[in-house]
């Protein structure tokens, strides 16, 4: 009898010594806020959606061990959303009478807009699926993530999607990957202090803003198809500007001025966090000089810490969703 069959048939743990344990690992990278976020007309109704800016600076590694019984444990104990996601995954793949032990090692900063919770949740879902020797479709991962978190980003997907982050539905799957961009990231102060995503009331957009999002969605689609950093950056800047009425970034006008002076292609922000990034075309022959100038200007604006990473290109398409099933051990 196989291990999975044993786990399915035995819920009392009476044959622990005679069965093999199943292990799986899942890694999920973080994100850096959004390139576009708002509401979009879909089949005659409005849906909130976003396009996530991926980031490989930080990640969450999740190890899952499937065990008899229905007791679930996670370390650290406060990562309860990841544990909830693991339980939901077991229910989905017909292992409801199985328990799980999760261990999470995460380098993702918490409560800054890097998607720390989503990284935990995505890693847990993939680790449990890997331990069970199964693969989940993207829409299944999305539905599980939303169920565990209430709102979730699309970092589980390997390429750009406009994602309804409170419904778990892909509004639009873009055909192309992101163009190659260099990002100088930094923390931005907000008027109300630290941002906790789920405590924020959903933004109420005006008819003019809703029409603006329709236009920006079209421009993003065209920019991705053309792999045009300038158009992508322009959409990101416009989306960040629209977000000012709902979660204002202190000194936003000065940041926009910096973008223009240093020859960057745009400015992006976490629409429910406190990270932001100056976007550069990695194909720019003056990239190093422009990045250096941006860093100096950020210091002049009072930014104490900045970081740098690159995104885009086909080589990064699948980096945000990794899972491995480990050898069965006694």
Q: What pLDDT score was predicted for residue 5?
A: 57
The percentage of the chain sitting over the pLDDT mark of 90, rounded to a whole number, equals 62
In a domain, 80, yes or no: yes
In a domain, 297, yes or no: yes
* 142 and 244 housed in the same domain: no
Q: What pLDDT score was predicted for residue 313?
A: 72
C-alpha radius of gyration, the chain, whole number:
21
How large is the average pLDDT for residues 134-143?
A: 86
CATH of the domain at 141: 3.30.230.10
* 164 and 199 housed in the same domain: no
* 10 and 156 housed in the same domain: yes
Cα angle 294, 297, 299 (rounded to 5 degrees) comes to 110
Q: What pLDDT score was predicted for residue 153?
A: 72
* 166 and 274 housed in the same domain: no
Q: What pLDDT score was predicted for residue 7?
A: 59
Tokens of 62: 């999740």
CATH of the domain at 189: 3.30.70.890
* 291 and 143 housed in the same domain: no
* 131 and 199 housed in the same domain: no
Q: How many CB atoms lie within 10 A of CB 2?
A: 12
Residue 138 belongs to domain spanning: 3-172+317-325
What is the C-alpha separation between 102 and 76, in angstroms, rounded? 9
* Least confident among 51-60, 147-156, 168-177: 147-156
Which residues in the chain belong to E strands, given as ranges?
22-42, 45-68, 73-75, 98-106, 161-164, 169-173, 181-187, 266-269, 275-281, 306-311, 322-325
Q: What pLDDT score was predicted for residue 95?
A: 93
In a domain, 260, yes or no: yes
Q: What pLDDT score was predicted for residue 1?
A: 38
Give the β-pairing of 98-106 and 73-75: parallel
Q: What pLDDT score was predicted for residue 199?
A: 55
Query: Which DSSP category does 190 fall into?
Result: B
CB 265 within 8 A of CB 281: yes
In a domain, 193, yes or no: yes
Give pLDDT tens digits for 219-239: 999 999 999 999 999 999 999
317 has a pLDDT exceeding 60: no
Which residues does 221 contact at the CB level (< 8 Å), separation at least 6?
Answer: 172, 174
* 27 and 153 housed in the same domain: yes
* 129 and 80 housed in the same domain: yes
* Least confident among 19-23, 77-81, 177-181: 19-23
Average pLDDT, the chain: 85
Q: What pLDDT score was predicted for residue 165?
A: 86
* 274 and 189 housed in the same domain: yes
Instruction: Give this prediction's pTM.
Output: 0.85
What is the C-alpha separation between 139 and 14, in angstroms, rounded? 36
* 100 and 7 housed in the same domain: yes
What is the C-alpha separation between 113 and 62, in angstroms, rounded? 20
In a domain, 273, yes or no: yes
CB 140 within 8 A of CB 89: no
Give pLDDT tens digits for 191-211: 555 555 555 677 899 999 999
Give pLDDT tens digits for 63-102: 999 998 888 999 999 999 999 999 999 999 999 989 999 9
Report CA 275 to chain centroid distance, whole Å. Answer: 13
User: Per the structure, how many domains does the chain have?
Assistant: 2
């Amino acid at each position: 009898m196989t291990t999975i069959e044993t786990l399915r048939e035995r819920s009392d743990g009476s044959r622990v010594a005679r069965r093999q344990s199943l292990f799986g690992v899942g890694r999920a990278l973080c994100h850096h806020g959004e390139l576009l976020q708002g509401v979009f007309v879909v089949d005659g109704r409005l849906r909130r959606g976003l396009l996530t800016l991926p980031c490989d600076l930080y990640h969450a590694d999740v190890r899952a061990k499937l065990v008899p019984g229905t007791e679930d444990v996670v370390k650290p104990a406060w990562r309860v959303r990841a544990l909830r996601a693991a339980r939901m995954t077991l229910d989905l793949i017909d292992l409801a009478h199985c328990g799980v032990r999760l261990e999470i090692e995460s380098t993702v900063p918490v409560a800054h807009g890097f998607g720390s919770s989503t990284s935990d949740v995505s890693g847990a879902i993939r680790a449990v699926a890997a331990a069970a020797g199964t693969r989940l479709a993207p829409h299944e991962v999305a539905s599980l993530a939303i169920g565990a978190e209430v709102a979730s980003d699309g970092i589980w997907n390997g390429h750009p999607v406009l994602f309804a982050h409170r419904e778990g539905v892909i509004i639009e799957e873009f055909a192309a990957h992101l163009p190659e961009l260099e990002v100088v990231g930094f923390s931005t102060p907000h008027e109300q202090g630290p941002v906790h995503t789920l405590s924020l009331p959903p933004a109420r957009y005006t008819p003019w803003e809703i029409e603006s999002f329709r236009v920006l969605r079209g421009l993003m689609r065209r920019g991705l198809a053309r792999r045009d950093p300038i158009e992508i950056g322009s959409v990101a800047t416009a989306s960040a500007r629209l977000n000012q009425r709902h979660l204002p970034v202190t000194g936003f006008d000065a940041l926009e001025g910096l973008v223009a002076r240093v020859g960057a292609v745009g400015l992006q922000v976490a629409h429910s966090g406190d990270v932001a990034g100056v976007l550069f075309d990695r194909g720019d022959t003056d990239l190093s000089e422009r990045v250096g100038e941006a860093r100096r200007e950020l210091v002049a604006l009072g930014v104490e810490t900045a970081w740098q990473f690159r995104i885009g290109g086909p080589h990064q398409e699948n980096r945000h969703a990794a899972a491995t099933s480990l050898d069965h051990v006694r």
